[in-house]
């Protein structure tokens, strides 16, 4: 089935079926997570950030506080 045919089929689904389909797609992505390629520059950046975190040089923020701050900026 071609991508455009799949889109047409999805458009015919009701909302609850679309949500279930999304969950299934995410689950299939998570199962093959190890197969996703990661560019070398991204690996280097993650390594740098992790080392910075482990050495205590990284300022960490509570997700709830970050979320609230973003919501205030957007309103």
Cα(59)–Cα(52) distance, rounded to whole angstroms?
9
Looking at residue 66, its pLDDT comes to 94
Which two three-digit tokens encode residue 66?
Answer: 């970050």
Residue 71's pLDDT is 93
Going by pLDDT thresholds of 50, 70 and 90, the confidence category of residue 70 is very high
3-state SS, residue 40: helix
Please state the pTM of the whole predicted model.
Answer: 0.46
pLDDT on residue 54: 93
**The token pair that represents 72 in the structure block:** 């205030």
Close Cβ partners of 18 (under 8 Å, ≥ 6 residues apart): 10
pLDDT tens, position by position, 10-68: 999 999 999 999 999 999 988 887 777 889 999 999 999 999 999 999 888 999 999 99
């Amino acid at each position: 089935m071609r991508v455009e045919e799949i889109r047409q089929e999805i458009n015919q689904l009701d909302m609850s079926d679309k949500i279930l389909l999304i969950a299934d797609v995410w689950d299939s992505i998570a199962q093959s997570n190890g197969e996703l390629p990661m560019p070398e520059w991204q690996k280097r950046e993650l390594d740098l950030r992790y080392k910075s975190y482990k050495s205590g040089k990284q300022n960490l923020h509570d997700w709830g506080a970050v979320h609230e701050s973003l919501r205030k900026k957007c309103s």
